[in-house]
Chains A and B, each alone.
Chain A
Amino acid sequence: MESAPSDRELAVRVAGGDASAEAELVRRLAPRVRLYGLRHLRDASAADDLVQEALVLTLERLRAGRVRQPERLASFVFGACRLLVRNQRRGQRRRGALLERFAGDLDRQAVPDPLRLDAKRLRECLSRLAERERGVLVLTFYAEEPAGAIAARLGLSLDNVRTVRHRALGRLRQCVEGSAA
């Protein structure tokens, strides 16, 4: 079986004008950039904007031969993400000149749909957790409280909150994936 090309190989091929390599690179990087965006922006549409802007910037630089170390592609993308997130936080949500010029070149078909869980299944699985486990997950993911704050709020130790959280996520993952009754 042929092994998948590395990010570096794809970057080199993009620099050489290979359209299929561009599509593969977009398919590969889009979910990773979206993850970064969700972590820092906590908003799905803002994360989608980040995907588009970061990938347009990356492809444009690769095509122009301006990514000097293709083996360090991730570092370039990381730098682009940091810059773009900082701009978004400053309220600069307007499309930049680069995006105006090159957005049409991005192969949108290659951007995979984001991973979404079936809401009904997730609710069933959450309902099977112990009340305390479910409560800790709600405080973690909805209220965005760190473990220390949750511990203080619920009168638990920090280690206890971390253990409850870890166990709850493990059980939830098993259930969502259908391996637990």
Chain B
Amino acid sequence: MSSCSTPLADGLVLDWWTGELGAAEARRVERHLLSCGSCAARAQGLAAVSEGVRALVREGRLPAALSPSVVERLRSEGRRIREYRVAPGGGVQCTVGPDDDVVLARLAADFAGVSRVDLVRRGEDGAEQRLADLPFDPASGELIFSPPVDMLRAMPASVERMRLIAVEPQGERLLGEYTFDHTPWPGRAGA
């Protein structure tokens, strides 16, 4: 592929892709991308990542803390969402159905004054996994976590405990502990 004498910066291409450029600058970028094979190839790589991330979120296959805006978008796209709202100290019986696209654990907590939150997941065997510095919306009063549905479907009946921990300059503080008592859907592999 021919090289480009005036390559577009990666940040500029990203701003174009996300719609963060003014109209005139966007048109300049678009004309360049339609005439330059090497810059277009880089932009196609970005587009492929974007499409891939969208597909993984839509299919509930990406372990991630989600914002309410992402959940609303899933709903507007007609995705089937199974969600469990749990208060601090609470627990819930849970499963994943064959038609579920996305499963959400909605962990309520008081995030007043909190700038960093970690989530600790503890399986029945006592093994712990710590997810550090999760993105969260302090005003929402909950952290929404989406475990991958394909992994949930493969899980046997088991109990998982989650802890939300505020990490502060003076130390750590427990925001809440939540228990998920998982049962496989009848007839599924883990049942």
Contacts and interface: CB of A to CB of B under 8 A. Distances in A.
Decide whether A and B are members of one complex: yes
Contacts of A74: 31, 34-35
Interface in A43-57: 44
Interface string A118-157: 0100110011001110111111111111110000011100
Q: Which 5 A-B pairs have the closest CB atoms?
A: A135-B135, A74-B35, A141-B53, A141-B50, A74-B34
Contact of B45 (A33, A38, A135, A173): A173
A45 B12 CA distance: 26
B30 A78 contact: yes
Given A33-B34, A155-B115, A142 B57 contact: yes
A123 B73 contact: no
B78 to A, nearest CB: 15
Interface stretch (A59-67, A100-108, A162-170): A162-170
A77 B30 CA distance: 10
Contact of A138 (B31, B53, B132): B53
Contact of B34 (A81, A138, A142, A165): A81
A141 to B, nearest CB: 4
A147 to B, nearest CB: 7
Contacts of A119: 52, 55-56, 61
Nearest to A136: B135
Contacts, number: 146
B73 A142 contact: yes
Interface of B: 2, 10-11, 14, 16-20, 27, 30-31, 33-35, 37, 40-41, 43-58, 61-67, 69-70, 73, 115, 131-138, 148
A33 B73 CA distance: 27
A28 B37 contact: yes
A134 B18 contact: no
Nearest to B2: A4
A117 B49 contact: yes
A135 B62 contact: no
For the complex, would chain A's binding face be called helix, strand, loop or mixed by DSSP majority? Answer: helix
Contacts of B64: 131, 134-135, 138
Contacts of B33: 32, 35-36
A142 B31 contact: no
22 contacts: A3-B2, A4-B2, A36-B30, A38-B47, A39-B16, A39-B17, A75-B31, A114-B44, A117-B49, A117-B51, A123-B62, A137-B53, A138-B66, A139-B67, A139-B69, A139-B70, A142-B73, A144-B18, A146-B19, A146-B20, A155-B138, A165-B14
Contacts of B48: 114-117
A122 B55 CA distance: 11
Contact of A140 (B18, B61, B132, B136): B18
B155 to A, nearest CB: 17
A115 B18 CA distance: 19
A172 interface: yes
Nearest to A135: B135
A144 to B, nearest CB: 7
A48 to B, nearest CB: 13
Contact of B49 (A136, A144, A172): A172
Contacts of B47: 35, 38-39, 115
B136 A154 contact: yes
A70 interface: no
Interface in A1-55: 3-4, 7, 28-29, 31-33, 35-36, 38-39, 44
A136 B133 CA distance: 12
